[in-house]
Chains A and B, each alone.
Chain A
C-alpha cells in the first residue's frame, strides 16, 4: 500500500504513482504477449488504459485497508503492492503463484497487502468489501475497504444490495466504478437506463462523485476525500472514474464494435501521458521520467523471467486448500 504525505503536489508522490502505473502497463503488455503465444490458459482481462484508477485509489489507502476487485484485477492487486513475480506466477499457473496456481488470472489475491481478491463473477465482491468494512466497524480498527468494479456491474443485484447495506449501516467502504464505457461488448447506454452512474449514490444515501479516471492525481484526491469520510464514520462513497479499456474485453475480443476514432482519442489521453505531464508540471525532469519507465520495464521483465522459471504445481496439490484439514 502506498502512504504519502498529504497534498498531491510533491514530486516523490507523482514519481511513485508513475512507477506503479508503468509496472502495471508493462505487466499487462507481457501477459498479452504470453496469451498470444499460448503460454497462459483460459481467458484474461487486461487493464491497459485504466491504471490511474487502481493506482490513484490505492494511494489514498493506508496499512490495514483492503480492496476487492474484478477479474480485470491485475492492476488493482499490483497497485496495492502484490509482488510482480508471484502475480505472473499465478497467471502462469505456477506453484509459487500468489494462489498456488488455484485461481489464475481472474483470482489474483494477496491478503498480505490487503488485496482480498479478484472475483470472477460480476459484482460478487461488492458485499465482500462491505463485510470487511463491517468487521472494521465491529472491531473499531478504522480500516476502510475499497471495491473496484466496472460499469457493467451496476446492473447486477449485488450492486444494489451492497450499496444499500453499506449506506444503511454507514460502512467504511469506497465503491469505485471503473467506467470504461463498455460492459463486455456493449456500450453503457445500451444496457443502462440512467448513464449518470455516480448519481446512483443518492439512492443509497451516499455521495456520488465523478472523476477523470485517467488523471491519477484527480483520482487520488477524490479517493482521499472518500477514504477520510469513511474513516470518520460518515459512511460510504460512490466514485465513478471515467476511463477507457484500451484492449478488448478479453483475449478473444478485438474491440471491433468501437466507433472509429474512439480508441485514438483515448490513447491521446493515456493515463501514463497525463501523469507524466503532471510530473513535468511539478518539476520532474524528462530524464527522471525516462528512468522511472525504464526501471519499471526492467523490473517487470526480471519478474516475468523468474516466474517462468518456477515449477508447475505437483498434481497432488489439487487436493490442498479445499478444506482446512486436507
Chain B
C-alpha cells in the first residue's frame, strides 16, 4: 500500500458486512446503479449482507419474487436502457434455476447483437462449502461458468478484495459474476472509513499473498486461507511457499503465476469443488501447454472430492482440501 492510502483512516469490518458497504458506496457513487433480488430490501438479505440499503436508496433497491430467471433477465433488460443493475442470486447453487439467462442471454447479448450494447450487469451469489448447508446450497459454482465466453468471474477471499472487486464489478461494462464465499462471512479486514476509489481492486489482477521460493500454491476464497495456513506450517519445516490468490478467474492473471513459477518451478493448485472441469484443471493445463519449460515437476491439483457436498460436519470437512493435505502435497512435491 502507498503512503497516501495508509494515511487515510481505515475501519475494521467483516466479509459479510463489507458486501453491503461496497454496494452502498456504488449506489451512492452512480445513480444508474440499481439492485434487485429476493428479500434484499426490506429484509436486508438472507445473510443480512444488504441491510439498510432499501432505507437509504429507496426504489433503486427492489425485492423480487422468487424468480431467478426474471431477476437476471430483468437486470439485462434494464442494463440495455442505461442502468447498471446488481442482481443477487441468494445461493450460487440457484444459478442452475437461471442458467439460461446467465449463459445464453447475459453472456451473449453483446456478441449476438454485434456489439450494439454493453451489458453492465453484476450478479452476486453466495458460494461454497463448509457451513453445513448441504448438497444444494454449498457448491463452488464458479466452475460452472468457466467455458462460457462473455462472463467475467471474480472470487474475492478477503475483506479488502471483496470491497474493491465488488465495486470494480459494478463499474465494469461487461457482465461480472461475483462469488461471495459464505464460509468467509466472519473473516475480518480493513476498508476505508469513507468511500475511496483508491481501494478499488482491478479485475484480472492476482495477489501474491505470501512470497516464497520453493513452491507456488495458487488458491482462491476459503482455500486461499487454508493455503496461507499451510504456508505458515511449511515455513516451520523449512519449506518456502509462495501463495497466490488469482482473485479473478476470468480473465485469469497467468503472468503472475508464471512469474512465480520462474522462481519456484513447482505448482500446487488448491481448488474448492470437484477436480474435473474446474479452474484448477484449466490452470494446470495452461501452465503445462504454455510454460512447460518453467516446471521441474508435475503440477498437483488438490480439489474437493468428486461427490455432492455432504451435510454432516465430519463428512463435509473430509471432502474439502485442508491445510494438512496442502502441507503433505507440497512436501511430496518439493522432494521430487
Residues of A within 8 A of B (CB): 66, 68, 97-103, 107, 109-112, 116-117, 119-121, 124-136, 138-139, 143, 145, 157-158, 161-162, 164-165, 168-169, 320-324
The answer to whether A145 touches B69 (Cβ under 8 A) is: no
15 A/B residue pairs, CB under 8 Å, sorted by A: A107-B112, A112-B116, A119-B105, A121-B104, A125-B73, A130-B70, A132-B81, A134-B77, A139-B81, A157-B69, A162-B70, A165-B64, A165-B65, A320-B115, A324-B110
Output the least CB separation between B94 and chain A (Å): 13
Report chain B residues within 8 Å CB of A102.
111-114
Q: Are A131 and B79 in contact (CB under 8 A)?
A: yes
Contact A116 B80 (CB under 8 A): yes
Docked-complex contact A165 and B81, CB < 8 angstroms: no
Do B77 and A169 have beta carbons less than 8 Å apart? no
Q: Which of A100, A124, A157, A321 has the most chain B CB atoms inside 10 A of its CB? A: A321
Given contacts A99-B112, A100-B115, A135-B83, contact A322 B150 (CB under 8 A): yes
Measured in the bound complex, the distance between the Cα atoms of B60 and A119 in whole Å is 27
Of B59, B72, B85, B100, most A-chain CB atoms within 10 Å: B100
Question: Is A145 a contact partner of B113 (Cβ separation < 8 A)?
Answer: no
* Interface: B174 (CB within 8 A): yes
Q: Which residues of A contact B109 (CB under 8 A)?
A: 117
How many residue pairs bridge A and B at CB < 8 Å?
142
The listed residue (A103, A132, A157) touching B80 by CB distance below 8 A is A132
Given A131-B78, A134-B78, A121:B100 Cβ within 8 A: yes
Asked whether any CB of chain A lies closer than 8 Å to the CB of B118, the reply is: yes
- Residue of A with least CB distance to B70: A161
Asked whether A164 lies within 8 Å of B67 as measured between CB atoms, the reply is yes
Chain B residues within 8 Å of A125, by CB: 73
Q: Does B110 contact A321, Cβ atoms closer than 8 Å? A: yes
Is the pair A127, B114 in contact by a Cβ cutoff of 8 Å?
Answer: no
Cβ-defined contact, A127 with B113, below 8 A: no
Nearest 4 pairs of A and B residues by beta carbon = A131-B77, A127-B73, A100-B114, A99-B114
| B34 within 8 A of partner (CB) | yes
Besides the known contacts A127-B71, A165-B70, A324-B174, 19 further A-B residue pairs in the complex with CB atoms under 8 A apart: A107-B113, A120-B104, A121-B105, A127-B77, A128-B74, A130-B70, A131-B78, A131-B85, A132-B80, A134-B62, A134-B74, A135-B81, A138-B83, A165-B64, A169-B62, A320-B115, A321-B110, A321-B114, A322-B111
* Contact between B104 and A124, CB atoms less than 8 A apart: yes
Question: B78 touching A138 by the CB < 8 A rule?
Answer: yes
- In the assembled complex, the Cα of A131 lies from the Cα of B59 at a distance in Å of 14
- Among B73, B116, B150, B174, which residue has its beta carbon within 8 angstroms of that of A128? B73
Q: In whole angstroms, how far apart are the Cα atoms of A40 and B79 in the complex?
A: 32
Whether, in the assembled complex, B76 has its beta carbon less than 8 Å from a beta carbon of chain A, the answer is yes
- B residues in contact with A101, CB < 8 Å: 114
Contacts of B174 in A (CB 8 A): 323-324
B65 contacts which of A107, A109, A164 (Cβ < 8 Å)?
A: A164
Q: Is the CB of B115 within 8 A of A124?
A: no
Complexed CA–CA distance, A267 and B249 (Å): 56
In the complex, which residues of chain A have a beta carbon less than 8 angstroms from the beta carbon of B85? 131
Q: Which of B72, B81, B150 has the most CB of A within 10 A?
A: B81
Q: In the complex the two chains form, what is the Cα distance from A101 to B118 in whole Å? A: 17
Residues of B within 8 A of A100 (CB): 114-115
Residue of B nearest to A107 (CB): B112
For A101, the closest partner residue in chain B by CB is B114
Contact with A along B98-124 (1 / 0, CB 8 A): 001100110001111111111000000
* Contact across chains for B73 and A126 when beta carbons are under 8 A apart: yes
Determine the distance from Cα of A127 to Cα of B82 in the docked complex, in whole angstroms: 16
- Asked whether B135 is an interface residue with its Cβ less than 8 Å from the other chain, the reply is no
Q: Are B113 and A99 in contact (CB under 8 A)?
A: yes
Does B149 touch A at the CB level, under 8 Å?
yes
**Given A102-B114, A321-B115, A165 and B67 touching (CB < 8 A)?**
yes
Q: Which of B59, B62, B77, B173 neighbours the largest number of chain A CB atoms within 10 Å of its CB?
A: B77
B78 surroundings in chain A (CB, below 8 A): 131-132, 134-135, 138
